[in-house]
Chain A
Amino acid sequence: MNTGEKEHAELADVFNKDEARVDWHDETLWWIRAKRDRSVHQLPEWEDLRETASKIKFNVLSNLSGYLEQFEAQAKANGVTVHWAADAKEHNEIVHRLISEQGVTQMVKSKSMLTEECHLNEYLAEHGIEVIDSDLGERIVQLAKEPPSHIVLPCIHKKKEEIGDLFHKYLGTPSNMSDPQFLTETARQHLRETFLTRKVALTGVNFAVAETGEFVVCTNEGNADMGAHLANIHIACMGIEKLIPQRKHLGVFLRLLTRSATGQPITTYSSHFKKPREGQQMHIVLVDNGRSVQLGREDFRNSLKCIRCGACMNTCPVYRRSGGHSYHNAVAGPIGSILAPNLDMRQYADLPFASTLCGSCSNVCPVKIDIHDQLYKWRQVLVKEGYAPTVKKIGMQVMTTTLNSPGIYRTAGKLGRIVMRLAPFAVNNGLNPWYKHRDMPTPPKESFGEWYKKNRK
């Protein structure tokens, strides 16, 4: 997303100008989180499932190259063409070449956060290829010319009235029409035409099975299936971390994924793709784009366990009140804040600080990623690498000097309290970001240390 140089705090500030909207955003996502809670409490084995999933993924990450080779060999044996892309650029070029070879200029896509990460749509548009996103939420943000604000609920930031306006503008519905049933039916008709006429379909991959060379795509709308089944060529793009060793492991992940994401027991469509049907071509693009670098960062390796359920976003009190776009990255929220600095420390140095470290994300994560601990660790790395603002550096130095010396600390504390009592305007002013929203504590006459000296011993 192009937000210029704006950081999370500034973008969140803009989002918070409309408090009613923040309330609505927060409550919508909280409702989903509550639904998730009810749904996971139906499974007494929930915590065991999480532990199992985390261990399976740990195995995958520890033996990634072996599983990748196994997957490639199996997929090839199934008649699938396998491509490798080192980065976003290579990925986009491969997809572009495959489309061009078909002599077409249009493609239908089902939701894939990897293609968002690689900015595929923009790249293809520049090369004269039109992409229609077939996931309803994605289609809506595409019409609005915005990136998704959530990895599972791409247009969760949009109200139904705004969607009605977009449909009115682009799909010819009557104005002021916001009935979800009506809008969904309109989208259905609009997309049906697309499915029937596109020769190339691209899908994401939720899980790829090393043992069999197959992959599984989960959608609630069946749009991936419609695109892939009707097209002559199916391109599936996946990050290299999407592998699981065996088919039997799917049972663990499919149970975790949707309960965590939306509170549903299982996704409506979990479609297995193994080999191209006769006359069809099937391609898989395996994308690295920074993943092997992250694998090499011991403290952050676990982030590659992510199955993109979005639960950490729904539960994150900061995400709910700052909106997905404030993270200026394809993957928002807590997990995005760990993944993004891996790709570009300078650009995303703000994100690990966009958290209170409350830890709810780590508890909710179905694969037990230590998200909030990684946020803490990224902060240390970013400061060491020199990405801390100068003002903050100076402030921290002053604080350290004060706290390192009991004498200075006591004097400074006393002075501070006197100033606050006698000259409150010195702290209660617009330059004090605390005071902008909150009153300062009333300073007591004596500190506990002073009281103790008088009253004990």
Chain B
Amino acid sequence: MRVGLFIPCYVDQFYPNAAIATLQLLEKLGCEVVYPQNQTCCGQPMANSGFEHLTHGCNELFIKNFDGFDYIVAPSGSCVLHVREHLHDEHDEAKAVDIRHKVYELTTFLTDILKVESLPARFPHKVGMHQSCHGQRGLKLSSMSELVAPAFSKPGSLLAMVKDIELIELNRVDECCGFGGTFCVAEEAVSSKMGKDRVADHLQHGAEYITGVDMSCLMHMEGILKRQGSNVKVMHIAEILNGVEN
């Protein structure tokens, strides 16, 4: 199985460890993983700001980089959702559609395609799981508190395979952290308040780590934790599942 590794721009630049863990984890699970080196960004920052018409370049680049793989996997719900919903190709739409169907968020790929049932990881810590909205509600990674439907969680089921991990309960299981792309700077007051509240829920329940499928939400919460002088760390779920403890 040839997997194209899609590493979102800010993960590439600021959180290489999350990307390395994703790569190693996929390799460990038997995938042939290739990282196309000319990738940049999925175009979401522009699109969510109302500038979808400026994303042609990113789309072209994305298609050029990821054409021909069996699957494309990324450690980010939000970027994957963007590609799934908005990747287009003026000249060859069929190709874009094909890629849209082949792109997977990491934990869904592990549960739905690789059907992982056990992992050699160990993480002896109290961990809070932040449900990033785009992954949860957009890609349906886990059940949503608003809906009357059976409970499930793809990232949760994977974390349950990790030895000695203690997952904490939260008061609000799937409240948004307030990152929201450019929302975090355009609406700084509300965004930071949301982040503070989200972090407080985790702290109140004794989290030592906050994890999730989207590094962007975690980056926002990390910024708040650091500003508060907290020792609580954020860590992408790939790092926990890969069994690497920092």
CA distance A397 to B7 in the complex (A): 22
A439 touches B137 (CB 8 A): no
A110 in contact (CB, < 8 A): no
Decide if B14 touches A444 in the complex (CB within 8 Å): yes
Q: Would A413 and B13 count as touching, CB distance under 8 A?
A: yes
Instruction: Check: B95 CB closer than 8 A to any chain A CB.
Output: no
Closest residue to B144 on the A side, CB-wise? A363
Report the separation of the CA atoms of residues A233 and B13 in the bound assembly, to the nearest whole angstrom: 69
- Check A251 for interface membership: any CB of B closer than 8 A: no
Closest partner residue, chain A, to B7 (CB atom): A448
Q: A447: CB under 8 A from chain B?
A: yes
In the assembled complex, A399 has its CB within 8 A of some CB on chain B = yes
Partner pick for B49 among A26, A44, A318, A396, CB 8 A cutoff = A396
At the interface, yes or no: A456 with Cβ under 8 Å from chain B? Answer: yes
Q: Which residues of A contact B17 (CB under 8 A)?
A: 444
Q: Does B97 interact with chain A (Cβ within 8 Å)?
A: no
Bound state CA distance, A40 and B175, in angstroms?
Answer: 19
Complex-state Cα separation, A304 to B57, whole angstroms: 36
Whether A437 sits at the interface, judged by CB under 8 Å, is yes
- A130 / chain B contacts, CB cutoff of 8 Å: none
Instruction: Give the one of A9, A22, A397, A402 with max B CB within 10 A.
Output: A9
In the complex, A126 Cα to B78 Cα: how many Å? 51
Binds B, one of A64-72, A160-168, A353-361: A353-361
Is B195 a contact partner of A396 (Cβ separation < 8 A)?
no
Given A9-B186, A321-B194: A437 and B224 within 8 A (CB)?
yes
Beta-carbon contact of A403 and B58 below 8 Å:
yes
| B14–A441 touching, CB < 8 Å | yes
Cβ A451 vs Cβ B190 within 8 A: no
Which B residues touch A438, using CB under 8 A? 192, 195, 220, 223-224, 226-227
Structural contact, A358 and B148, CB atoms closer than 8 A: no
Whether a CB of chain A sits under 8 angstroms from the CB of B19 is yes
With A and B bound together, what is the CA distance between A55 and B163 in angstroms? Answer: 48
How many residues of chain A get a CB closer than 8 Å to chain B's CBs?
73
Chain B 31-53 per-residue mask, 1 if CB under 8 angstroms from chain A, else 0? 00001011111010111111111
**Residues B224 and A443 in contact, CB atoms below 8 Å apart:** no
A contact patch SS: helix
In the complex, which residues of chain B have a beta carbon less than 8 angstroms from the beta carbon of A8? 187
**A318 near B190: Cβ-Cβ < 8 Å:** yes
Across the interface, do B223 and A439 meet the contact criterion of CB distance under 8 Å?
yes
Check A409/B9 contact, CB under 8 A, given A360-B146, A433-B188, A447-B16: yes
B220's nearest neighbour on chain A, judged by CB, is A438
| Given contact pairs A380-B50, A443-B14, A317 touches B223 in the complex (Cβ within 8 A) | no
> In whole Å, how far is B73's beta carbon from the nearest beta carbon of chain A?
14
A400 and B57 contact, CB distance less than 8 A: yes
Q: Assuming the A-B contacts A400-B54, A413-B12, are A44 and B133 also in contact, with contact meaning beta carbons closer than 8 angstroms in the complex?
A: no
Of B179, B187, B226, the contact of A439 (CB 8 Å cutoff): B226
User: Are B176 and A358 touching (Cβ within 8 A)?
Assistant: yes
B37 touches A359 (CB 8 A): no
Are A434 and B61 CB-contacts (below 8 A) given A321-B193, A396-B46, A400-B46? Answer: no
A416 with B186, Cβ < 8 A, contacts A16-B193, A317-B176, A359-B133 known:
no
Contacts of A41 in B (CB 8 A): 148
- Is B184 an interface position by the 8 A CB rule? yes
- Taking CB as reference atom, which chain B residue is nearest A451? B16
Chain A positions within 8 Å of B194 at CB level: 317-318, 321, 356
Report which of B11, B12, B35, B52 forms a contact with A456, defined as CB distance below 8 A. Answer: B35
B: contact size bracket: 35 or more
B223 touches A433 (CB 8 A): no
Residues of chain B lying within 8 A (CB to CB) of residue A321? 190, 193-194, 197
In the complex with contacts A363-B147, A396-B51, A436-B40 CB distance below 8 A: no
Interface flag for A379 (CB, 8 Å): yes
- Whether a CB of chain B sits under 8 angstroms from the CB of A269 is no
The reply to whether the CB of B189 lies closer than 8 angstroms to some CB of chain A is yes
Complex Cα spacing A9 to B174, Å = 24
Taking CB atoms, residues of chain A closer than 8 Å to B185 are 433-434
> What 0/1 pattern do residues 186 to 208 of B give for CB contact below 8 A with A?
11111111110100000000000
Are B48's CB and A37's CB within 8 A?
Answer: no
When chains A and B are docked, how far (Å) is the Cα of A410 from the Cα of B175? 35
Q: Could you tell me the distance in whole angstroms from the C-beta of B151 to the nearest C-beta in chain A?
A: 11
In the bound assembly, the distance between CA atoms of A402 and B41 in angstroms comes to 10
A69 to B21, CA, bound (A): 64
Assuming A359-B137, A433-B186, A437-B192, what are 12 further A-B pairs, CB within 8 angstroms? A8-B187, A9-B190, A22-B193, A41-B148, A357-B48, A359-B138, A363-B144, A404-B57, A434-B223, A448-B11, A448-B19, A451-B16
16 contacts between A and B (CB under 8 A): A8-B187, A9-B186, A359-B134, A359-B137, A360-B133, A383-B50, A392-B49, A396-B54, A402-B40, A406-B39, A416-B13, A438-B220, A439-B226, A441-B15, A456-B23, A456-B35
